A and B are shown apart, each in its own frame.
Chain A
Amino acid sequence: MLKILKYSFFDLMRSRWSYVYFLFYLLLGIVLLFLNNDLSKAVITLMNVIIILVPLIGTIFGVMYYYNSKEFTELLLAQPVKRSSIFLGQYLGVALSLSMSLIIGLGLPFVFYGIFNSGAIWDFSLLLVTGAFLTLIFTALAFVIALANENKIKGFGYAILLWLFMAVIYDGIFLMSLVYFEEYPLDTFSLVATMLNPVDLSRVLILLKLDISALLGYTGAVFQKFFGTNFGFILSSLLLVIWVAVPTFFIQHMAKRKDF
């Protein structure tokens, strides 16, 4: 599996798209710091970018890579290699190279700007960690979708729909239900609803670390109390891990049964 991972990883590292992705983040980081001169504000803007773009690129890239390397995969399948290691290797190759582009691309400008001497270092590392998690989660989901659909167009369609659901529609339903049930106590409900969607969870985790959390008022205090405890922290990390583990399990499961 490691060999395939290594191959996929270096294959991607050599590809133009990784560079584009890397350069995009590098540029974004530099521009933000240049225009803002304020680390914590830059972190807020980055958060907006990360919770929207990272899942989108993770899904699209994952689906694209799977369909593009299909012939090579079929070639590999003819060899005496375990099926699960082929697909897991490919998945990890894509996910890790994407996370690396993200972390190095954003990290470099901030390191040169002097993030290590600033109080924002923890906010920033949280941002990168959630970004990496989102990449892992959405690439895995993309692989599951691609494995389930032979038809490229269908696969892409579902992938985009998945992103749309997580990033936009979910919040819409969430908002509607909050407004609809406004007469009931909603703290626990909103807490659970937030934790179930990795995009929302990352957004709230980052928001709570920033000054802007004072805007959240009473609801924010409830969230702060929950995520401030060890239990809340462990639970939210656990949920992110589950979000990675479950699709990965599906990749393995589907890879074993699929006819090529």
Chain B
Amino acid sequence: MKKRILYTVLFFCCTVVVTFAQKTIEVCASCETTTLTKAVETAQPFDTIKVKKGTYAEYNIGITKPLTIIGEGNPVIDGQNKGEIITIESDNVTVKGFTVVNVGTSYTTDFAAIRVVNSKNFVIENNTLKRLFFGIYLQKSNHGKVLNNTIQGDAVNEYNSGNGIQLWYCNHVEVAGNTVKNVRDGIYLEFSDQIEIHNNKSTDNLRYGLHFMFSNHDTYTNNLFENNGAGVAVMFSKFIKMYNNVFRKNWGTASFGLLLKEINDSEIEGNLFEENTVGINIEGSNRIEYKHNDFKSNGWAIKVRGACYANTFTKNNFLYNSFDVSYNSKINDNLFDKNYWSNYTGYDLDKNGIGDVPYRPVKLFSYIVNRTPETIILLRSLFIDIIDFSEKVSPVFTPDNLMDNHPLLKPTDHDRNR
């Protein structure tokens, strides 16, 4: 017992000593240290640097020791378009509460507002980034957090703009509560596994709201993707979980809500796809479960491009889409079951809530359009309605086993608080 008390006291003392050993350096126009660069140079590991309100014209700030850097009253760091602004190359660094502006644009180097290199346990929180090239660039860094940042770009062309938050060879990073606007890709993941992305807003981006490349075992939930070139693109990845996201108004001649290319073994559940030209565009993707999603007022709810096997679509609501499902082949290995289709015209004599006549989601016209894209110009012509009707009565061209055998008569009520 005595020993335990001794240990406790000893531990407490140590903590106190360590705490007291940590210094706090203040930076302001009238302080002893007037620049952040200077403060970082003089600081000892585990010190805290507090930067007061003001504008600091600095760039290439290299942080090579564990530090906590806090901006008080939203100080502005102006990079004057000269290059990278903050580079973190040490574990346990926290950067909080800054406004970082004017990152240099380059065609050879990816300058970032805040870059993290080969580090662990970093926290980047409550920063605002404006007029940037790349926003937050994480490379080969693990176990960190990127929380509640606001990134406001002014990207015009894809070739000379960067991404909002980029992860390259990173694992176990949490990206949450960020708002990314008007950059090339809102959030971009390459070779990054076990990433948690939640409660972000990614809007008005040139290319994708969220972009996965060769990244596995990632989860994204409760995000909003609005008005991007394409909401989310998931390419060459496996085991991605996509829950409760909203994909809206990704509307344009080449826009998608969700673009899937070479994705396997993933789950897409509880998402809302509203007013996208194409809700989900699927190419070469296998064993994906689509459950409890809402597809509302899209041009195409689901466009299947080919080489997609063993996918299941259950308990989704397809509401008022111009085309529910489009297929470009006669072979079907995907299962549609117990979905609600607003275009369903069958009946339910035994009153069990399931339509007695199977529903065929692929219209002949969407099949023809897939074959000869120019025919789309006949959209909403009376002739098209007539051939769609006759195909519905006796299918000739569309895959005849592609049907929902148990179409629901009422929309599924998804419990979003599951």
Min Cβ gap A119→B in Å is 16
Kindly state the separation between the CA atoms of A211 and B380 in the bound complex, as whole angstroms. 14
B376–A167 touching, CB < 8 Å: no
Chain A interfacial residues counted at CB < 8 A? 34
**A135 beta carbon closer than 8 Å to chain B:** no
Q: Which residues of the partner chain B approach A169 to less than 8 Å between Cβ atoms? A: 383
A190 in contact with B374 given A48-B380, A172-B383, A212-B322 (CB within 8 Å): yes
**B375 beta carbon closer than 8 Å to chain A:** yes
Closest chain B residue, CB of each to CB of A47 = B380
Q: Which residues of the partner chain B approach A47 to less than 8 Å between Cβ atoms? A: 380
Kindly state the separation between the CA atoms of A179 and B367 in the bound complex, as whole angstroms. 11
Q: Looking at chain A's contact residues, is the secondary structure mostly helix, strand, loop, or mixed? A: helix
Identify B299's interface contact among A44, A187, A194, A214, CB under 8 A. Answer: A214
Kindly state the separation between the CA atoms of A212 and B252 in the bound complex, as whole angstroms. 10
Kindly state the separation between the CA atoms of A47 and B379 in the bound complex, as whole angstroms. 12
Q: Which residues of the partner chain B approach A216 to less than 8 Å between Cβ atoms? A: 253, 376-377, 379
Interface code A197-219, partner B: CB below 8 Å = 1, 0 otherwise? 00010011001000110111111
A219–B322 touching, CB < 8 Å: no
Min Cβ gap A206→B in Å is 9
**A30 beta carbon closer than 8 Å to chain B:** no
Identify B379's interface contact among A52, A178, A207, CB under 8 A. Answer: A207
* A131-175 interface (Cβ within 8 A of B): 167-169, 171-172, 174-175
**B384 beta carbon closer than 8 Å to chain A:** yes
Min Cβ gap B380→A in Å is 6
**A22 beta carbon closer than 8 Å to chain B:** no
Min Cβ gap A207→B in Å is 7
Chain B interfacial residues counted at CB < 8 A? 26
**B307 beta carbon closer than 8 Å to chain A:** no
* B364-382 interface (Cβ within 8 A of A): 368, 371-382
Identify A215's interface contact among B379, B383, B384, CB under 8 A. Answer: B379
* B342-396 interface (Cβ within 8 A of A): 368, 371-384, 386-387
Identify A186's interface contact among B254, B368, B374, B382, CB under 8 A. Answer: B374
**B251 beta carbon closer than 8 Å to chain A:** yes
Kindly state the separation between the CA atoms of A77 and B378 in the bound complex, as whole angstroms. 45
Kindly state the separation between the CA atoms of A200 and B377 in the bound complex, as whole angstroms. 9
Identify B381's interface contact among A186, A200, A223, CB under 8 A. Answer: A200
**B277 beta carbon closer than 8 Å to chain A:** yes
A214 in contact with B372 given A48-B380, A167-B382 (CB within 8 Å): no
B374–A187 touching, CB < 8 Å: yes
A168–B386 touching, CB < 8 Å: yes
Min Cβ gap A52→B in Å is 5
Closest chain A residue, CB of each to CB of B322 = A215
Closest chain A residue, CB of each to CB of B383 = A171
Closest chain B residue, CB of each to CB of A185 = B374
Closest chain A residue, CB of each to CB of B320 = A41
A182–B383 touching, CB < 8 Å: no
A175–B380 touching, CB < 8 Å: no
Min Cβ gap B390→A in Å is 12
B373–A190 touching, CB < 8 Å: no
A182 in contact with B253 given A171-B384, A215-B299, A215-B322 (CB within 8 Å): no
A179–B371 touching, CB < 8 Å: yes
Min Cβ gap A184→B in Å is 10
Q: Which residues of the partner chain A approach B383 to less than 8 Å between Cβ atoms? A: 167-169, 171-172, 175
Min Cβ gap B282→A in Å is 17
A168–B382 touching, CB < 8 Å: yes
Kindly state the separation between the CA atoms of A154 and B373 in the bound complex, as whole angstroms. 40
Q: Which residues of the partner chain A approach B251 to less than 8 Å between Cβ atoms? A: 211, 214
Kindly state the separation between the CA atoms of A94 and B376 in the bound complex, as whole angstroms. 35
A214–B374 touching, CB < 8 Å: no
Q: Which residues of the partner chain A approach B375 to less than 8 Å between Cβ atoms? A: 175, 178-179
A203 in contact with B376 given A179-B371, A214-B299, A215-B322 (CB within 8 Å): no
Q: Which residues of the partner chain B approach A218 to less than 8 Å between Cβ atoms? A: 253, 373
Kindly state the separation between the CA atoms of A44 and B299 in the bound complex, as whole angstroms. 14
A203–B380 touching, CB < 8 Å: yes
Kindly state the separation between the CA atoms of A187 and B299 in the bound complex, as whole angstroms. 22
Q: Which residues of the partner chain B approach A211 to less than 8 Å between Cβ atoms? A: 251
A175 in contact with B253 given A182-B372, A212-B322, A215-B299 (CB within 8 Å): no
Closest chain B residue, CB of each to CB of A206 = B380
B373–A219 touching, CB < 8 Å: yes
**A115 beta carbon closer than 8 Å to chain B:** no
A178 in contact with B277 given A203-B381, A220-B253 (CB within 8 Å): no
Kindly state the separation between the CA atoms of A182 and B369 in the bound complex, as whole angstroms. 11
Q: Which residues of the partner chain B approach A178 to less than 8 Å between Cβ atoms? A: 372, 374-375
Q: Which residues of the partner chain A approach B374 to less than 8 Å between Cβ atoms? A: 178, 182, 186-187, 190, 219
B373–A217 touching, CB < 8 Å: yes
Supplied contacts A182-B372, A207-B379, A219-B374, 19 more A-B pairs, CB within 8 Å: A47-B380, A51-B382, A167-B382, A175-B378, A175-B383, A179-B368, A182-B371, A212-B322, A214-B253, A215-B379, A216-B376, A216-B377, A217-B253, A217-B376, A218-B373, A219-B377, A220-B253, A220-B377, A221-B253
Q: 6 smallest A-B Cβ distances: which pairs?
A: A171-B383, A182-B372, A215-B299, A186-B374, A171-B381, A168-B383
